C-alpha cells in the first residue's frame, strides 16, 4: 500500500458478524416445525446441500430498481437456493410456509452475532479519521441487521449487490463503492473472508484486497492476510 489509505471497505457476513449457530441448524429447526421428517444425517445433509446450492446460484444482482419489485427478486433468489437444498435432502408439504418464516428469521439481528473485536475496531478506525463502508453480496435485509446489531452508524456507505446491479467479485461493485466517497481506488482497501470475492474482486478494481483468514488456513504468501480485524489497525496506520 504505497498510497495513503483513506477508505476502508468491509465485507459483511463472516467478516463483521456471523450466523448465531449455523445456517443448516436454523433451516433444520424451522423445517421440522413445518413438518420436515428429520433423519440422523439431516443436519450434515443440509449443510452440504446448502454449500452446493449457494455455490451454483447465479450472482445476486438484479436489473429491477423499483423497491417492492427488487425485494421480490431478492426473495426469489433465496427461494431458489433454499428449494434446491430441500429438493436434495427431502421436500415437505409446508415448504412455502417454512421459507417465508426462515426468510424473516435471517432479517432478525438476533440471528447474527458480532465478532468480539468488530465494534472496537470500527470505533478506532473512525476515530483515526478513516471513512468506512461495506461492500456485500447480501440483500436489502442487511440494513435492518446493521441497525439491530448497533453498527450502522459507523459506516459512511453501504453497497449491496442487489442495488448495485453487480455482485462480487465483479469490479463494478467495488468501483461504485469507491465512487460514493469521491476517492481513487488506490486510496481504498477492502477486507473480507473470500479470496475470490473479496481479495481478487477488489484487486480487479484497483483496490488493495485483504483476506480475513480467521481459521488460519491460507498459505499463499502473495496474499495480504489478517487473522482478526484487530490486525487491520496497524496495517492501515503504517500506510499513512
Model confidence over 96-105: pLDDT tens digits?
Answer: 999 999 999 9
How confident is the model at residue 86, as a pLDDT? 98
Going by pLDDT thresholds of 50, 70 and 90, the confidence category of residue 79 is very high
Are both 7-16+115-238 and 20-110 of the same fold? no
Domain residue ranges in the chain: 7-16+115-238, 20-110
Which pLDDT value is given to residue 225?
A: 95
Helices marked H in 106-192 — which ranges?
Answer: 118-127, 141-149, 161-164, 171-179
DSSP E strands: which ranges in the chain? Answer: 7-10, 17-19, 112-114, 131-136, 157-160, 188-192, 208-212, 225-226
Query: Looking at 4-121, which runs of residues are DSSP E strands?
Result: 7-10, 17-19, 112-114
| pLDDT at residue number 239 | 60
Contacts of 51 (CB under 8 A, 6+ apart): none
* Mean pLDDT (whole number) for 80-100: 98
132: which 3 cell numbers? 468506512
User: Is the pLDDT confidence value at 128 over 70?
Assistant: yes
**The CATH number of the domain covering residues in 7-16+115-238:** 3.40.50.1000
148-163 pLDDT, tens per residue?
Answer: 999 999 999 999 999 9
Question: What confidence score (pLDDT) does residue 220 get?
Answer: 79
The pLDDT tens digits for 172-192 are: 999 999 999 999 999 999 999
Q: How high is the pLDDT of residue 166?
A: 97
Average pLDDT, the chain: 95
Q: What are phi and psi of 22, to 5 degrees?
A: -145, 160
Residue 59 pLDDT: 95
Q: Could you give the percent of the chain with pLDDT greater than 70?
A: 98
Greatest alpha-carbon pair distance for the chain in Å reads 59
CATH architecture of 20-110: Orthogonal Bundle (1.10)
Amino acid at each position: 500500500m504505497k498510497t495513503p489509505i483513506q477508505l476502508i471497505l468491509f465485507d459483511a457476513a463472516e467478516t463483521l458478524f456471523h450466523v448465531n449457530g449455523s445456517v443448516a441448524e436454523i433451516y433444520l429447526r424451522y423445517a421440522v416445525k413445518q413438518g420436515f421428517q428429520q433423519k440422523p444425517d439431516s443436519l450434515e445433509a443440509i449443510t452440504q446441500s446448502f454449500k452446493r446450492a449457494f455455490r451454483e446460484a447465479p450472482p445476486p444482482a438484479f436489473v429491477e430498481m423499483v423497491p417492492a419489485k427488487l425485494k421480490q427478486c431478492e426473495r426469489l433468489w433465496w427461494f431458489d437456493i433454499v428449494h434446491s437444498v430441500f429438493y436434495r435432502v427431502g421436500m415437505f408439504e409446508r415448504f412455502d410456509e417454512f421459507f417465508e418464516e426462515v426468510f424473516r428469521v435471517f432479517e432478525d439481528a438476533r440471528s447474527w452475532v458480532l465478532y468480539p473485536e468488530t465494534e472496537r475496531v470500527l470505533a478506532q478506525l473512525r476515530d483515526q479519521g478513516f471513512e468506512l463502508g461495506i461492500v456485500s453480496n447480501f440483500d436489502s435485509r442487511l440494513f435492518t441487521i446493521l441497525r439491530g446489531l448497533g453498527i450502522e452508524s459507523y459506516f459512511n456507505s453501504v453497497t449491496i449487490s442487489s442495488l448495485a446491479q453487480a455482485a462480487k467479485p465483479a469490479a463494478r461493485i467495488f468501483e461504485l463503492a469507491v465512487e460514493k466517497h469521491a476517492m481513487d481506488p488506490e486510496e481504498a482497501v477492502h477486507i473480507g473472508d473470500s479470496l475470490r470475492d473479496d481479495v481478487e474482486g477488489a484487486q480487479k478494481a484497483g483496490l488493495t484486497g485483504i483476506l480475513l483468514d480467521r481459521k488460519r488456513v491460507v498459505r499463499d504468501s502473495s496474499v495480504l492476510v489478517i487473522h482478526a480485524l484487530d490486525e487491520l489497525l496497524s496495517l492501515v496506520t503504517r500506510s499513512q
